[in-house]
């Protein structure tokens, strides 16, 4: 039987019908997130429904926030989540951090505001939102920095208005969240050059693309044309340049090394990565980098390892959001029962990658 597509899986979920019908009786039972906008909503949200392949379901707004989504300002899904006083308190604290992200917010100050010890606050906040208060503030500060740039502020103005103390450490503090220079981001990516290459591998067509900071895109696809279209959707205002003699020859060498890894089991190339995601997603991806070839971990083990044991669904969503196939080994993440779970590039590829790694380990 052919594997169901992402859209078909969502359409088969009974929650999708409630979203399509804007069923108010389902409000509070779950929320749905829209991957293309980064927003999550209650089922009855009056906004125009998203395409099914762009929808993800979560049991609660806290889980959606842990996965990097923000609450819809139109339907306000968090207003329903007041049954758990601890979650409500952490949501209030998260709103306070968002409003004061440009200020120093030591854990002691936040703990005093929440009426908790610093240790208890740290654990409770992580359990509710999937990230520490410090990481949450960093993400909110970055969000403000990006918004300031989009609104036309100079890099210097945007830096200080977002609460960064100086421009000298701006690249270090926004590691992975911007993915390009501030000046390039300010112009919507215009002027940013992304070099790309496509090779036929043992697992089908594979594209790799990189900015000056490192590899930002590695995906399998049906054809080179399909992969170029995906890259164009991902970076609509960047200059896309095929690798080759007149382009970025190191990228072509990187592709050759990755192809050798897939075809003959040679070591995975250690390449510079341009990670783009929320603080929580990047923590998941960095943990996956520590999982050895041939080993597997469950989504619950990932959540436990990064200090957010209740954010299992968020950890799974972070794996699904990975756009660096093989280099970030999300294929090593399985369900708790040992089944393969999902894989954005198809379960057959996931199975083949795991089988190859296990074979090499046993050799």
Active centre residues (catalytic): 41, 330
Its sign, for the CA torsion 74, 80, 85, 86, is negative
* Helices H / strands E in the chain, number of each: 16, 10
Using CA atoms, how far apart are residues 154 and 162, in angstroms rounded to an integer? 12
Using CA atoms, how far apart are residues 69 and 38, in angstroms rounded to an integer? 5
Residues 257/249, Cβ–Cβ less than 8 Å: no
Strand 70-71 to 55-58 pairing: unpaired
Both structure tokens of 149: 């740039």
Nearest to 227 by CA among 249, 247, 206, 251: 206
If one counts every other C-beta atom within 10 angstroms of the C-beta of residue 164, the result is 19
Both structure tokens of 324: 């660096």
341 Cβ contact partners less than 8 Å away, ≥ 6 residues apart: 299, 316, 333, 334, 335
Radius of gyration for the alpha carbons in the chain, expressed in angstroms and rounded = 21
Residue entry with tokens 């990047």: 282
């Amino acid at each position: 039987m052919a594997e169901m597509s992402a859209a078909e899986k969502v359409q088969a979920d009974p929650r999708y019908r409630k979203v399509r019908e804007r069923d108010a009786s389902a409000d509070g039972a779950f929320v749905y997130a829209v991957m293309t906008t980064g927003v999550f909503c209650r089922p009855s949200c009056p906004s125009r429904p998203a395409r099914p392949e762009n929808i993800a379901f979560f049991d609660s707004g806290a889980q959606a926030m842990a996965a990097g989504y923000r609450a819809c300002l139109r339907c306000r899904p968090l207003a329903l989540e007041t049954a758990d006083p601890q979650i409500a308190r952490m949501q209030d604290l998260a709103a306070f951090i968002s409003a004061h992200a440009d200020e120093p917010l030591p854990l002691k100050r936040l703990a005093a505001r929440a009426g908790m010890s610093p240790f208890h606050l740290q654990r409770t906040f992580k359990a509710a939102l999937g990230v520490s208060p410090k990481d949450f503030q960093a993400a909110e500060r970055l969000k403000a920095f990006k918004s300031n740039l989009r609104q036309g502020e100079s890099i210097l103005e945007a830096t200080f208005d977002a609460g960064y103390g100086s421009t000298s450490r701006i690249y270090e503090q926004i590691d992975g969240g911007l993915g390009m220079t501030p000046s390039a981001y300010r112009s919507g990516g215009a002027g940013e050059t992304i070099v790309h290459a496509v090779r036929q591998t043992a697992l089908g067509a594979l594209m790799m693309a990189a900015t000056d900071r490192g590899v930002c895109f590695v995906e399998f696809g049906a054809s080179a044309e399909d992969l170029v279209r995906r890259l164009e959707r991902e970076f609509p205002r960047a200059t896309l340049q095929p690798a080759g003699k007149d382009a970025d020859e190191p990228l072509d060498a990187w592709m050759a090394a990755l192809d050798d890894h897939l075809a003959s089991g040679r070591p995975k190339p250690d390449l510079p990565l341009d990670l783009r995601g929320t603080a929580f997603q990047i923590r998941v991806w960095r943990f996956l980098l520590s999982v050895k070839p041939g080993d597997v971990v469950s989504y619950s083990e990932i959540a436990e390892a990064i200090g957010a044991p209740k954010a299992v669904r968020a950890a799974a969503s972070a794996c699904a959001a990975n756009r660096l196939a093989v280099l970030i080994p999300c294929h090593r993440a399985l369900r708790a029962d040992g089944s393969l779970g999902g894989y954005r590039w198809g379960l057959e590829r996931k199975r083949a990658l795991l089988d190859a790694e296990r074979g090499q380990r046993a050799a």
